Amino acid sequence: MKNKLSRLAVPYVVWMALFVVAPIVMVVVYAFTAAEGGFTLDNFSRMGLYGVVFLRSFKLALVATVICLMIGYPVSYMMSKEGPRFQRAAMVLIMLPMWINFLLRTYSWMSILENNGLLNQLFQRIGLIDLYNSLSGANLEYFPMMNTQGAVVLGMVYNYLPFMILPIYSVIVKLDGSLIEAARDLGANGLNVFRRVILPLSLPGVLSGITMVFVPSVSTFAISKMLGGGTEMILGDLIEQQFLGGAYNPQLGAAISLVMMVIVVVCMVVMNRFGEGEEQAVML
């Protein structure tokens, strides 16, 4: 019976070999090819130059992931405590924003965060800016929020938060209630129940949430362009520049993406060690 069912995997294995593995192999080949053809390691020897960009990207993605986790975990937890109708509605509401193109959503954030944007106008009107000026002795006309690393992180959190909430929620909602009761019966207080029972059991969801937020955050380019003002480049920008932008150099682009991929995969493998690896990402 087992062997019979495992044959079902064959078509997809063929598919993956064709459309996942083969294209990746082409990227690897590209990374080791010079622009004029022929084998070279030059594309990698320039990598040191971009160390700053690598560091900055991983830092921003890490911050975004941590914030997503800090918002996403409590939300998932609270949602799982509500009634079934609320839960269903909430799930839908979390997926729904992804139906509006993410470029448009990010454009909207621009009008909110601009120097003359909605938030600053609101702060002006309620006198927050004057209050701040009189308290600190500064002379601000607005709070500078756009074109900062903070704005980029906000964009990442905004766009990828659902990817954190959904997997965590899907794990928490299925937790065996009797385990929690047992813990209480054995004298654990609320904090201990959470720390000793709920948190470890929800770890698989947390891990897959972290993956789903961290990976796109490292490689995004649209968000940093629009909200970061392009003054500080991150990895996605660098890669995009080689493939689509002014610095056309697909070989270098392939090399940079390869290095990024390796780092990301190593991070994920190390992280999944903590989670015993068996349970993976769960959406919804």
Partner 1 sequence: MKRRYSAMSRVFTALVFLFLYAPILLLIVFSFNKGNSNTVWTGFSLDWYKSLFHNRLIMRSVYTTLLVSLLATAIATFAGTFAAIGFYSLRRRPRAVLNTVNSIPMMNADIVTGVAMCLFFVAFFAFWSDFAVWFNGVQHMVTLPARLTLGFGTLLIAHVTFNIPYVILSVGPKLRQMDKNLVDAAQDLGCTWMQAFWKVILPEIKPGIASGALTAFTMSVDDFIISYFTAGSSSSTLAMTIYGMTKKRVTPEINAISTLLFVTVLLLLVIVNLREAHMERTGQQERRPKPVLQRLTRFLDSPRGRWFRRGAAGVLTAAFLVTVILLTSATNAQPVVNVCSWGEYIDEDLITQFEAETGILVNYQTAESNEALYSLLKSGAGDYDVIVPSDYMISQLIEEDMLEELDYGSIPNFSLVDSRFKNLPYDPENRYTVPYAWGTVGIIYNTTMIGEPITSWSALFDDQYAGNVLMFRNSRDAMATALSYLGYSLNTTDPIQLREAFELLKDAKSRGVYQSFVMDEIFQKLEGGNAAIGAYYAGDYLTMLENNEDLAFVVPEEGSNWFMDAMCVLKGAPHFDEAMAWINFIASTEANLKNMDYLWYASPNQEALEQYPAYYEELYGEPLDPEIYEIMAAPQEVLDRCEAYLVLPASIRALYNDLWTELGI
Residues in 16-75 that interact with partner 1 by CB under 8 A: 16, 19-24, 26-27, 30, 49-50, 52-53, 71, 74-75
Q: Give the nearest distance from C-beta 137 to partner 1 in angstroms.
A: 19
Smaller CB distance to partner 1: residue 26 or 179? 26
- Does residue 219 interact with partner 1 by CB under 8 A? yes
Smallest Cα–Cα separation from 236: which of 249, 219, 250? Answer: 219
Q: Give the nearest distance from C-beta 185 to partner 1 in angstroms.
A: 19
Q: What type of residue is 271?
A: M
Q: CA–CA separation, 172 vs 43, rounded Å?
A: 45
If residue 105 lies in a helix (H) or strand (E), which one and from where to where?
Answer: helix 102-113
101 phi, psi to nearest 5 deg: -50, 140
Calculate the alpha carbon distances from 169 to 76, 166, 206, 239, 282 in Å.
5, 5, 9, 33, 9
Report the site for partner 1 in 177-206 (rule: CB under 8 A): none
User: Which residue in the set 69, 183, 250, 275 belongs to the binding site for partner 1 (CB under 8 A)?
Assistant: 250
Name the token pair of 112: 């909110």
Mark 76-115 with x for binding to partner 1 (rule: CB under 8 A) and - for no binding: --xx-x--xx--xxx-xxxxxxxxxxxxxxxxxxxxx-xx
User: Which residue in the set 193, 198, 233, 255 belongs to the binding site for partner 1 (CB under 8 A)?
Assistant: 233
Instruction: Give me the residue label for tokens 């909605």.
Output: 118
User: Which residue in the set 41, 131, 179, 244 belongs to the binding site for partner 1 (CB under 8 A)?
Assistant: 244
Q: Give the nearest distance from C-beta 141 to partner 1 in angstroms.
A: 11
Residues 6+ apart with CB under 8 A from 93: none
Only one of the segments 128-136, 180-188, 192-200, 264-272 lies at the binding site for partner 1 (rule: CB under 8 A); that segment is 264-272
Q: CA–CA separation, 62 vs 231, rounded Å?
A: 20
- Does residue 140 interact with partner 1 by CB under 8 A? no
Smaller CB distance to partner 1: residue 93 or 182? 93
Q: Give the nearest distance from C-beta 260 to partner 1 in angstroms.
A: 7
Name the token pair of 247: 């610095």
109 CB-contact burial (10 Å; exposed 0-12 / middle 13-18 / buried 19+): buried
User: Which residue in the set 203, 264, 271, 275 belongs to the binding site for partner 1 (CB under 8 A)?
Assistant: 264
User: Which residue in the set 47, 194, 243, 259 belongs to the binding site for partner 1 (CB under 8 A)?
Assistant: 243
